[in-house]
Structure 1
Amino acid sequence: MSTQFEATVDIDRPIEDVFAYLADGEHDPEFSPRVLEISKTPPGPTAVGTVFHSTVKDAGVKTVRDFEISELSAPTRIRWHEVSTNAVTAREGGYDLEPTRDGGTRVRIFNVLEGHGVGRLLIPFAGGAARKDAPAFGRRIKTAVESGTA
């Protein structure tokens, strides 16, 4: 059983800057309060095969999550999938970027969430919470990138 959430946001920064910021997954805690810590293997620039190791807190429960970059097409497309085993995982996720006429960037983020074992019972709740937060998540990404953190 799976479900998807997505959000689209316009960011007032050039597409190359937004791509670089998002491809560096170590920025995730700057816009995702659920990410408590994150690191990547191997060190250096993000590439296909890079794995981001994170500790997250969802509904008061800490879990360890590992996401592998499966596609990186600068400056328009980033894809990942979760390689860790949890009750609810991100089977696929990504960012689609396109330039706007005013020199900014339109970003679409999505995740396909999948339930495993007891997670099959949790997926409607996890998906509902993710869809409810999706617009705010997009705004947090916009704020982080535009704030000069990028």
Structure 2
Amino acid sequence: MSTRFDVTVEIDRPIEDVFAYLADGRHDPEFSPRVLEIEKSPEGVTDVGTVFHSTVRDSGMKSRRDFEISELTAPTRIRWHEVSHHSITADDGGYDLEPTADGGTRVRLFNVLEGHGLGKALLPLAGSAARKDAPAFGRRIKAAVEASA
């Protein structure tokens, strides 16, 4: 059982800048309030196989989440999947980027959430909350990337 959420946002920054910012998952706390800490392994340039280890707070509970980069096509596509095991995981997610006519970047973010065990019962609630927050999440990404200039 899975559910998906998407959001598209236009960012007033060139596609190469937006790609570089989003490919470095260590920026996630700047736009995702649920991410408390994040580390990258191995250090250096993000590439396929890079894992971001994060501590997040969901519904008042802290958990450790590990996301592996599964595809990286500069400057248009980033894909990841969660390699940690929890009742609800992001089995597939990513960013699709395209330049806009005015020199900005259109970014589409998506995540496919999967329920495991008890998470199957909680998935509709988690998916609904994620879809409800998606527009605000997109605005936070836009604000964070534009502020990084």
TM-score when normalising by structure 1? 0.98
Residues 92-118 of structure 1: CA deviation (Å, up to 9, x unaligned): 000000000000000000000000000
Residues 47-84 of structure 1: CA deviation (Å, up to 9, x unaligned): 00000000000111111100000000000000000000
CA distance in 1, matches of 2:110, 2:54: 18
The 5 A counterparts of 1:1-150 are 1-147=1-147, 149=148
CA distance in 1, matches of 2:36, 2:97: 26
CA distance in 2, matches of 1:112, 1:61: 21
CA distance in 1, matches of 2:128, 2:61: 17
SS across alignment from 2:40: strand
Residues 101-143 of structure 1: CA deviation (Å, up to 9, x unaligned): 0000000000000000000011001000000000000000000
TM-score when normalising by structure 2? 0.99
Aligned residues: 149
Runs of 4+ in 1 over 2 A off after TM superposition: none
CA distance in 2, matches of 1:115, 1:132: 18
Matching residue's letter, 1:131: R
Residue 19 of structure 1, CA deviation: 0.1
CA distance in 1, matches of 2:7, 2:21: 17
CA distance in 2, matches of 1:59, 1:104: 35
Gaps of 5+ in 2: none
SS across alignment from 1:113: strand
The RMSD of aligned alpha carbons is: 0.6
